[in-house]
Amino acid sequence: MTAKPQPVRKRKHSRLPLLAQAGPVSAWMILFVTIPLLYIIYISFMTRGTFGGVEHEFSITSYQTLLDVTYFKVIEKSFRAAVITTLLCLLLGYPFAYYIARKPADVASRLIMLIMIPFWTNSLMRLNAWMLLFQTNGPVNNLLLALGWIDAPKMFIYSDWLVMLGLVTNMLPFAVLPMYSSIEKLKKSLLEASADLGARPAKTFMRVTLPLTFPGIFSAIILTFIPALGIYTITDMLGGGKVLYIGNIIKNQFGAIRNWPLGAALSVLLLLITALLIFIYTRFARIEDMEVL
Amino acid sequence: MKALADAIVKLLHVDKWFGNNHVVKDLNLEIQEGEFLTLLGPSGCGKTTTLRMIAGFEDATGGSIEVQGERIEDKEPYQRDVNTVFQNYSLFPHMTVFDNVAYGPSIRKEPKAEIKKRVTEMLELVQMSGYEKRKPEALSGGQKQRVAIARALINNPRVLLLDEPLGALDLKLRKQMQIELKRLQRKLRITFVYVTHDQEEAMTMSDRIAVMRDGVILQLGHPMDIYDHPTSRFVADFIGESNVFEGVVKAVNGELLTVETASGMAETQGSGFSVGEELYVSIRPEYLSISREPVTGFDLPARVKDFIYMGTVVKTSLDLADGKEIKYSRFEADATLREGETVYVHWDTHKSVAIKKEAEVEAS
Amino acid sequence: MESHHSIRRRKRSFRFLGDLYAILMYAVFYIPVAVMIAFSFNDAQRNYYWQGFTTDWYGKLFSFANTDLWDALLYSVIIAVLATIISVTIGVLGGIGLKKFRFVGKKFIDMMIYVPIIVPEIVLAVAMLIIFMTIGVKLGMGTILIGHCTFCIPYAVVTIKGRISGDNETLQEASMDLGANRFQTFWKVTVPSIMPGIMSAAFLSFTLSIDDVVMSNMLAGARQSTLPVLILSLNRTGITPDANALTTVMIVALVLGMLAVNGLQRHRRKKEARLAAEAEKAISTAGGR
């Protein structure tokens, strides 16, 4: 009786539940994500109109502009900042995540909640707070002067350094949470087994803990690096218009400068980088780890 | 044997494919009203799928399913007059015990006073009175199980389907629940269709057992029947323990067969076999006889290997001439048997079973 | 091999270092909040540096004199509430549906869901802006709302998907087995059993929406801005301390709300435990099982 499967005779299941449940979300995603993104790719290959706007004439001018020194420098700068931010977030965040993950479950969830609370305040106000701290005649400078570590107040504000601080402090939770989630899933019995087999704590960490928590680390990288690349509010607030990253440039193309194709091209660049990272991720990790959110 | 007209559930030529997997193959089964029937088999044999097809959670790819003479394959689960007790109880976590049990009646919009009365009755029946306000998370496994049973039975189903309901309980509790479930079934006289992979459980509770493997029913019958007269090697192996010999018929003397095996010449009762035919001979460990001297009839020389004390019985392993290991069990240790000793194994030919070599023999 | 003493001492110093590190980390997170609250008491027109203590700004805030600020807040809250309602509805339904069903293009939609989460918000905002402007849609509350929903919905979907286990499948089967049709099952069983997930998703959506800058900035009409956008523009000329006061009030309200909800939950759980214990005692004294 191992013939080919007979035609499936199914009960008459109504399609309504499927449409009602998966329908709206699918429609929304296609309408407001897929189509706009496709359109922006299209726009990036168009020419800039004389008064702003777009002429529907194919050209790769915008992409060529990206190779122009000034733009290229900005892109490179953003990249460097994003990389450093991500590294710092990983280095600072992992021990923190580990610390919390070792605590009993109820304590841990409260500790996590404690991390989240500051982020319920308006992010811009918090950035402004950093500004106030590092003002020329602000507390930090005054403290440093009083301690005699500097002779004259340092110009912290509007510096790359401050922007970096803003980036790291804003991105840290996005790094800590996925890493925490991954570390928390690590079964204690594995560490015990490693110790039982003769490995000292450092060795166990390198050969068991780190590899097994890699999915969390990778999630942290994605959730830190990509936003760091694209954000402009931090540079806006803390950089005062002097520090320009990719995000700022993109925004400006849609504001005063009105060079849509260029803005689109930069956006496409960001999209490509994102896609590349995701591709690497899906090759080496499991997609469920994204749901650490 | 009841007349076929009493069959309350009929599965006729039921087929189920999952993609390219033929999971249930041309299954035919008639379940009598009021009986406790168990679908027994290893994982993947199709028993749970079959149960779910009766319940309505899977569509049969082919064939028909009737309950009380009505075809139900096109009916949704909530349109069928059967109820299920799920493997992990599936109690609604956000509802109290009362609300869980009252769910079915409340969907049917029965009057509140009536519902309250029946819920109280049901909880009493499963010995969970007083737990009305508890939430499932505050119950133990055994308690959850009872609530799940009450929740199903309150709907007066003609057929109750149970999908390995005792799997998550510890041994002692499981044995206790087996007896309780059996008593409940007897008392209520509802048809129970039970699924399990535990053959001891099936033997304890069932009126009839359908042993399944690879999507077919290998044997259907009363527990003792299946135990004493397995019709295939698989069933002989699966139910209880068995020593199974492969051999060739050397002589046929009425119903007495002389069989040549790798371990020596043996005899057994069996009909329908011819000289030169290959077959299996199955003998249960408790039906072996051991003696120090060769006996008349036939005997297989063996060496005593080791003993396992299992509390109720002692299992002795013996190595036969060709190296085959067999098991011998008795209630008390034979103090005279020593490891390494040479003995002679034989048995009452009426206790052994001759099994045809085509392993798949469907129940008729 | 190290002696017991030195191992124990090492363990203890590790723990101390760990605690210290955690405190430092929390400091980094909370210092800006503390500073922000502190500067709501600053006796200055604009917050550049500390000029003295005053509670005047709270008075000014609650006199509703600064209409810009309150208008922006109201605008933000309305958008956030609407965005939450829309996003949670679509997102929860979507999360359930995507987990349960299989259909042509499902993999594609699954992927698309993650796009707004992963891709930098500016890219999304710009993409939508271009489309809106090309079609000729007027920028305003509608467009901001659409923008917010676009990134809130995926978060809602992911949250819900994470909460639905295989368990849910069997609960739905149990419900149908007992006679409830699909519609009844959805409302009586599915939704209540994922309620914590729904609440989570709602909270997440609200927070994301009310704090959003990028979308609100790019898709805003000329007339009204959301609160974060207002603050962004204020940053040029200097932020007035009443903005700090408002933010302080908001966070205090939020934290108090959290504590209240937590307290309620704990109270309810204690009550249930008490009822359970009473029932238990009643049973044992009655000699039942």
Q: What pLDDT was estimated at residue C283?
A: 65
How many domains are there within chain A?
2
Residue contact C114–A247, C-beta within 8 A: no
Residue A25 neighbours by CB under 8 Å, 6+ apart: C90, C91, C93, C94, C95, C97, C98, C109, C113, C153, C157
Nearest-by-Cβ selection for A6 from B59, B61, B76: B61
Residue contact B92–C289, C-beta within 8 A: no
Residue C29 lies in a domain: no
Tokens, residue A133: 């701290």
* Residue located via tokens 């994922």: C194
**Quick check: C213 contacting A, CB < 8 Å?**
yes
Best of C102, C163, C165, C177 to mutate (most B CBs within 10 Å, chain B): C177
Question: Which domain covers residue A45, as residue numbers?
Answer: 31-67+254-287
* Residue A234 and residue A260 share a domain: no
Nearest-by-Cβ selection for A122 from C119, C128, C247: C247
Residue contact C251–A117, C-beta within 8 A: yes
* Residue A219 and residue A143 share a domain: yes
* Whole-number percent of chain A with pLDDT over 90: 15
> What CATH number did the domain enclosing C182 receive?
1.10.3720.10
Does the interface predicted TM-score (ipTM) exceed 0.85?
A: no
- Which residue(s) pair with B253 in the sheet? B256
CATH 3.40.50.720 assigned to B241-356: no
Residue contact B59–A12, C-beta within 8 A: no
* Residue A210 and residue A86 share a domain: yes
Q: What pLDDT was estimated at residue A19?
A: 84
pLDDT band at C149 (very low <50, low <70, confident <90, very high): very high
* Residue A57 and residue A178 share a domain: no
Tokens, residue C28: 């980094």
* Whole-number percent of chain C with pLDDT over 70: 94
Q: What is the mean pLDDT of chain A?
A: 82
Residue C16 above 50 pLDDT?
A: yes
* Residue A175 and residue A51 share a domain: no
Name the residue among B122, B89, B83 with its Cα closest to residue C180.
B83
Residue C260 lies in a domain: no
Our CA-based measurement puts residue A130 at a distance from the nearest CA of chain C, in whole angstroms, of 6
* Residue A263 and residue A198 share a domain: no
* Mean pLDDT, residues B85-90: 86
Residue B180 above 80 pLDDT?
A: yes
Residue of chain A whose alpha carbon sits nearest to that of C255: A117
* Residue A282 and residue A212 share a domain: no
Nearest-by-Cβ selection for B22 from A2, A9, A12: A2
Give tens-digit pLDDT for B89-99: 888 988 899 99
Q: What pLDDT was estimated at residue A194?
A: 81
**Quick check: A52 contacting C, CB < 8 Å?**
no
* Residue A238 and residue A100 share a domain: yes
Tokens, residue B340: 């390494």
B107 contacts in chain C (CB < 8 Å) = 178-180, 184
Pick C105 or C33 by higher pLDDT: C33
Nearest-by-Cβ selection for B25 from A1, A10, A11: A1
Give tens-digit pLDDT for A146-169: 887 777 777 777 778 888 888 999
Q: What pLDDT was estimated at residue B361?
A: 46
Nearest-by-Cβ selection for B83 from C171, C178, C286: C178
* Residue A236 and residue A119 share a domain: yes
Give tens-digit pLDDT for B92-120: 988 899 999 999 898 888 999 999 999 99
Our CA-based measurement puts residue C255 at a distance from the nearest CA of chain B, in whole angstroms, of 27
Query: Picking from A51-55, A57-61, B175-179, which range would have the lowest pLDDT averaged per residue?
Result: A51-55
CATH class entry, domain B4-234: alpha beta
C-beta separation of B137 from B93 below 8 A? yes
* Mean pLDDT, residues A199-225: 85
**Quick check: C189 contacting B, CB < 8 Å?**
yes
Pick C288 or C224 by higher pLDDT: C224
Residue A135 lies in a domain: yes
Our CA-based measurement puts residue A212 at a distance from the nearest CA of chain B, in whole angstroms, of 30
Best of B57, B78, B164 to mutate (most C CBs within 10 Å, chain C): B78
* Residue A221 and residue A159 share a domain: yes
Tokens, residue A121: 């305040």
> What CATH number did the domain enclosing A235 receive?
1.10.3720.10
Residue contact B59–A5, C-beta within 8 A: no
Residue B209 above 90 pLDDT?
A: yes
Residue C122 lies in a domain: yes
pLDDT band at C288 (very low <50, low <70, confident <90, very high): very low
- Which residue(s) pair with B342 in the sheet? B303
Give tens-digit pLDDT for C241-270: 888 889 999 999 988 988 888 888 888 888
Residue B224 above 70 pLDDT?
A: yes
Q: What pLDDT was estimated at residue C65?
A: 79
Give tens-digit pLDDT for C19-76: 899 999 999 999 999 999 988 888 888 888 788 888 888 888 888 877 888 889 999 9
* Residue A60 and residue A151 share a domain: no
**Quick check: A50 contacting B, CB < 8 Å?**
no
Tell me the HSE value of B160 on the side-chain side, using a 13 A CA sphere.
Answer: 27
Give tens-digit pLDDT for B235-255: 998 988 899 999 999 999 888
Name the amino acid, one letter, at A17.
Answer: P
Residue A7 above 60 pLDDT?
A: no
Give tens-digit pLDDT for B6-65: 789 999 999 999 988 999 999 999 999 999 999 999 998 999 999 999 998 888 998 999
How many domains are there within chain C?
1
**Quick check: A261 contacting C, CB < 8 Å?**
no
Q: What pLDDT was estimated at residue B48?
A: 94
Q: What pLDDT was estimated at residue A75?
A: 85
pLDDT band at B362 (very low <50, low <70, confident <90, very high): very low
* Residue A217 and residue A88 share a domain: yes
pLDDT band at A11 (very low <50, low <70, confident <90, very high): low
Best of A4, A10, A11 to mutate (most B CBs within 10 Å, chain B): A11
Residue contact B76–C272, C-beta within 8 A: no
Residue C262 lies in a domain: no
Pick A283 or B156 by higher pLDDT: B156
Give tens-digit pLDDT for A115-129: 988 988 888 899 888
A10 contacts in chain C (CB < 8 Å) = none
Our CA-based measurement puts residue C149 at a distance from the nearest CA of chain B, in whole angstroms, of 29
B74 contacts in chain A (CB < 8 Å) = 11-12
Residue C98 neighbours by CB under 8 Å, 6+ apart: A21, A22, A25, C106, C109, C110, C113, C157, C161
Q: What pLDDT was estimated at residue B313?
A: 84
CA distances from residue B156 to B36, B77, B103, B150, C116 in whole angstroms, order as listed: 16, 15, 13, 10, 51
Q: What pLDDT was estimated at residue B321?
A: 87
Nearest-by-Cβ selection for A121 from C22, C36, C96: C36
Element (DSSP H or E) covering residue B49: helix B47-55
Residue contact B22–A9, C-beta within 8 A: no
Residue contact A293–C103, C-beta within 8 A: no
Label residue A16 exposed, middle or buried (CB < 10 Å: 0-12, 13-18, 19+).
exposed
C-beta separation of B282 from B352 below 8 A? yes
Query: What is the spatial distance between Cα B53 and Cα B27, in angstroms, rounded to a whole number?
Result: 12
State phi, psi for B120 to the nearest 5 degrees.
Answer: -60, -45
Give tens-digit pLDDT for B274-314: 899 999 999 999 899 888 888 888 889 899 898 888 877 88
Residue A208 lies in a domain: yes
Tell me the domain boundaries of chain B.
4-234, 241-356
Q: What pLDDT was estimated at residue C279?
A: 67
Best of B49, B107, B140, B173 to mutate (most C CBs within 10 Å, chain C): B107
pLDDT band at C145 (very low <50, low <70, confident <90, very high): very high
Residue contact C158–A128, C-beta within 8 A: no
Query: Picking from B269-273, B351-355, C15-19, which range would have the lowest pLDDT averaged per residue?
Result: C15-19
* Mean pLDDT, residues A179-186: 86
Q: What pLDDT was estimated at residue A243?
A: 72
pLDDT band at C2 (very low <50, low <70, confident <90, very high): low
Sheet strands side by side (includes B216-221):
B82-85, B159-163, B191-196, B36-40, B208-213, B216-221
CB atoms within 10 A of CB A21: 22
Residue A85 lies in a domain: yes
Query: What is the spatial distance between Cα A182 and Cα A220, in angstroms, rounded to a whole number?
Result: 10
Tell me the HSE value of B23 on the side-chain side, using a 13 A CA sphere.
Answer: 21
Q: What pLDDT was estimated at residue A291?
A: 44
Our CA-based measurement puts residue B94 at a distance from the nearest CA of chain C, in whole angstroms, of 6
Residue B217 above 90 pLDDT?
A: yes
Pick C5 or A271 by higher pLDDT: A271
Question: Which domain covers residue C235, as residue numbers?
Answer: 67-239
